[in-house]
Chain A
Amino acid sequence: MLIQFVNPLNSSALAFPILECIHIVGFALSIGTIAIVDFRLLDIGMRRQTPAQLAKDTAAWTLVGLGIMLLSGMALYSSDPDMYYLNYAFLGKMLFLILAIIFNYMIHRKVVASGASPGKTKLVAWISILLWTGVVFGGIFIGFLNPTLDLKKV
């Protein structure tokens, strides 16, 4: 049985670009607040505060940013799920995103709160920055690796 459903996002030419803008603000807020802690671990920026203090005081905004980013991201995905499913950049982005979120809440947070040795915290900061960089790269390359234009499959 075929269910007729038209995604309202696809009825308006403006819906997608507006969601993209919301997505950008969402990741600036979420990744940006995580990066503030990472830079602090690398002795850049808020050096009068401890990394643990910074992590505690930005946590709520990180969560708000993640919510904005994930909700707008799912709405964007819903506009053309088949295309995203076949897009290697999108799949890579999802892998990085899952790793980045798990790393942030399972490891990053705990290491920062425990005040581990500088060598360890610097490594954690770099891993965090690289994982989020991977997410952003994946997002941009979705538009450049359109599966319908894949010449290998033509």
Chain B
Amino acid sequence: MLLSFAQFIQSTAFFTALRGSGYVYPVILSLHMVIIALFGGMILMTDMRLLGLAMRSYPVSDVVNQFRTPKRIGFVLMITLGILMACCKAEEYYYNDWFRLKMALLVVVGLHALIFRRRVYSRAADLDHLSPLPAGAKLAAVISLVLWISIACAGRGIGYIEPPLDKIHAGLLYLH
């Protein structure tokens, strides 16, 4: 069902046109990377503040609360550009193991938010007076760093696999 949806979405006129124009895809990919460059530092600095490695002269709440909105804007831009790319080559991505890993890691990011938002990020002001910071906050930061760096690496991995769609279509390979 997911596969037929992938085939449907990439066959729409809009994504067929995007795929066909040689420069649109690399431009979207470049913008996706520009968002990493411009907003990725906010994730790194927030986590490193929780670990006591950066911005130590600012209260934790200043860092966590003030980066929240721009980080969300960055996330929305990132996801939008990512969806555009994924839909261009939806069927290929469906078979791409790095893409699958990246999606799984994004689900884990959601779980991370479910677990730690209430305990750490929403009550950053409580952390301002604690020194050293509680283990839970540091754990949240380490997991976040590992997750986001892994997501970037998995994203890079996507470009290294080109699932042999012609063979799959000819019934010579059964990948799904």
Closest CB of chain B to A147's CB: distance in Å? 16
B127 at the interface (CB under 8 A from A): no
Are the C-beta atoms of A49 and B37 separated by less than 8 Å?
Answer: no
Which residues of A pack against B, CB within 8 Å? 17, 20-21, 24-25, 27-29, 31-36, 39, 44-49, 53, 57-58, 61, 129, 132-133, 136-137, 139-141, 143-144
Min distance, Cβ A82 to any Cβ of chain B, angstroms: 22
Contact present for A136 and B37 (CB under 8 Å): yes
Contacts of A48 in B (CB 8 A): 58, 62, 66
Interface of B: prevailing SS: helix
Given A57-B55, A132-B37: A140 touches B62 (CB 8 Å cut-off)? no
Report yes or no: A136 in contact with B30, Cβ–Cβ below 8 A: yes
Task: Report the contact-size class of chain B (Cβ under 8 Å from the partner).
Answer: 20 to 34
B54 within 8 Å of A by Cβ?
yes
Instruction: For B54, give the chain A residue with the smallest CB separation.
Output: A61
Is the CB–CB distance between B152 and A21 below 8 Å? yes
Q: Is the CB of A28 within 8 A of B70?
A: no
Of B1-9, B11-19, B38-46, B134-142, the segment with at least 4 beta carbons within 8 Å of chain A is B38-46
Nearest-CB residue, chain A, relative to B55 = A57
